[in-house]
Each structure stands twice: as structure tokens, then as C-alpha cells.
Amino acid sequence: MTRPNAPSMPVEIGLTAAIVAVQDDQPVILVAKSGTVDADAALPTGPFDPIAHRTLEIGLRSWVSAQTGVPLGYVEQLYTFGDRGRHAHAGDLDPHVVSVGYLALTRIGETDDAVSAAGFRPWYSFFPWEDFRDRRPPVLDDIILPALARWAEAEPKAAASRGLSRKERVRILFGLEGARFDDENVLERYELLYESGLVAEAARDARANNTAGPDGLGEPLRFDHRRILATAMGRLRAKIKYRPVIFELMPETFTLTALQRTAEAISGRHLHKQNFRRLVEASAVVEPTGEMTHATGGRPAALFRFRRDVLQERPAPGLRVSARA
């Protein structure tokens, strides 16, 4: 119902892209360069023009190409982000932007001509608690879990009785007391950190009783962009298990070691070498080229390529990696 005498608020549709590539065994995200020194970085964002663009995806590909010079391969719509309040203020009459988020993949070697207004940043610089490849992230035990324990203890009893308690949510999402740390729950973990006031966006958005988050909890992004990026990360981690999207990040030919490192980069987990190779062999998603490479620095390694016939052979030809913390 329209409020009497209330000014109308225009609504704009924006298209926001989490554009992922892999560089030097690190997943990286394309971010737009901020116009001011103190401004947070942002994901590439552009308006949807219903006259110039027949579909949302056509609009996304058009302005990403024009603004960044980055060619997109696989593109998938994630979610529509329309919450009012994350960056709005009382009396704010600026257009309310409803942002349609996308996951897009590209190959870093195809982005050499990207304009200087954008650059790639490691995605674990935004989510350092998600990278278990070398060891358990120290930020978990040094900062996050002690702070969340204090937050959980402070929960009012009435609130705890209405659903899962704060303590139980922390236990499930961070794999405590025998719970499994699900690598796909990136968004849910970020939202818990936002709710508890630990990430910088919570203070920026003036959430009640929140102060600036402690150092070490990742770089903030403008607006809801870290939330969109978390959604993209969780989606990609899930997707590589049942669709061959990982090959959108690989060159035409690659070694099995390079494929494993890319899978590890995305999942944030170390994968056992022999188990991974048995998994690849059983899935029949790659085939040997008959060529070798000496670029590994050691013994010559066989080169493989994605076997596209697998798309016609079965409906879910992914790499069913089991990533556990």
C-alpha cells in the first residue's frame, strides 16, 4: 500500500558480476578500481538497458566487455539482491538498485587487454577463513571463533527459543564438535559474521550495537558485493562437483597436477593426489593429447584436454571432490 504523501522512489536494475579466473594456483576476482582512495573496492556493475539489451545476460556481457575488456565464458545468474537498508540512510531518496548477481568465468590469459579501470584480486583476500589448502586458517582460532563464542553466550534466551541458537549455528557452519565444515556454505558463514558485527560492512551499514570489525577478517566490498561474491563462491564450489565448469578456467591443454591445483584453489582444500587422479580417471572427463610438457620443472608431464563427448554421455559430468576441513 502506498503511504499518503510519500515521495515515489525510483527503482533501477543493476547487473553485478563476480568474474572468476585462476592465476598462479590462486582464484582471483575482477574488481573495479574505486574513484577515491578510501572507497571500498567493488565488483563490476552496470545498468540493464531494456531497449539496447534483449536479455539480462546479453546486457551483462555487453557492458563487461565495454568497461573491462574481459571476455566471459560461462555465465550463470545467481540471485536477485534487492534488500533496502544495507547501504541506505534515513531520508535517502536515491534510486533503489535491485541488483541481479552473476557468476562468470574467464581465463586469465585472455584478459591481457583489459582496461586499467579493473584488476584481479585474490578471492581469499575477501574471505581468508575459507582457505584450508596449506593449513587451518589462523584467523579462525585467533579471532573468529572466540568472538563468535562471546556473541553466542550473549544471546537472549527468548531469541534462542525461536529456532537454532547462535551457538548451534556457529557449530554447524564452522564445523565444531564433530560437525562437518561444508565448503559450499560460504554465504551462510559470511552472513553469520555480518550478523555478529565482525565484518566491516556491519559497522558501515550502521547495524545496531556493531563496531568496526577486527583486522584480519578480509577486505570489504562496496554495497552488498561481498555477499554477492560469497554466493558466487559457494555456487562454484558446488558446481564443479556435478558440472564440468572447472574447464572454463583451464587452458585448452593442461597437466593433471594443474587440474588438481585449480580444484584445490576453488574448494580451498588440499586433495590427495592419487585419490584425485583416480577420481578423474573414473569420471572420464579428460583425455590425453599424446603430448608432453617440460614446463613443470621436473619430469615431463602428460598433457590432457577436456573430453567434450562426456556432456552427451551423462547429465552430471563433474569432479565429485570431497573437500573437508
Q: Which residues, in sequence order, are bridge partners of residue 213? A: none
Give the CATH number of domain 11-125.
3.90.79.10
Question: What does each of the 325 residues of the chain score in pLDDT, given as a tens digit?
Answer: 445 555 566 777 889 999 999 999 999 999 986 555 556 788 988 888 888 888 888 889 888 888 788 888 899 999 887 765 444 555 666 667 788 999 999 988 654 544 444 589 999 999 999 999 999 999 999 999 999 999 999 998 776 667 889 999 999 999 999 999 999 999 999 999 999 999 988 887 766 455 555 667 999 998 889 999 999 999 999 999 989 999 999 999 999 999 999 999 999 999 999 999 998 888 889 999 999 988 776 788 999 999 988 777 766 677 777 655 5
- Round to whole Å and give the CA distance between 228 and 162: 28
Would you state the pLDDT for residue 157? 79
185 burial class (0-12, 13-18, 19+ CB within 10 angstroms)?
Answer: buried
Would you state the pLDDT for residue 32? 81
Give the CATH number of domain 244-313.
1.10.10.10
Q: Which residues of the chain does CATH 3.90.79.10 include?
A: 11-125
Would you state the pLDDT for residue 116? 41
Question: What's the gap between Cα 140 and its chain centre?
Answer: 19
The conformation of residue 251, written as its DSSP 8-state character, comes to -
Alpha carbon of 280 to those of 87, 169, 247, 277, 317: distances in Å? 45, 35, 13, 5, 10
- Round to whole Å and give the CA distance between 58 and 47: 12
Would you state the pLDDT for residue 88? 54
Would you state the pLDDT for residue 34? 58
Query: Could you tell me the three cell numbers for 224?
Result: 552488498
* Size of the chain, expressed as the number of residues it contains: 325
- Which of 131, 146, 153, 145 lies closest to 175, judged by CA? 145
Would you state the pLDDT for residue 90? 57
Would you state the pLDDT for residue 33? 66
- Round to whole Å and give the CA distance between 109 and 122: 16
Q: Which residues of the chain does CATH 1.10.10.10 include?
A: 244-313
- Round to whole Å and give the CA distance between 10 and 251: 44
Task: Assign 57 to helix, strand or coil.
Answer: helix
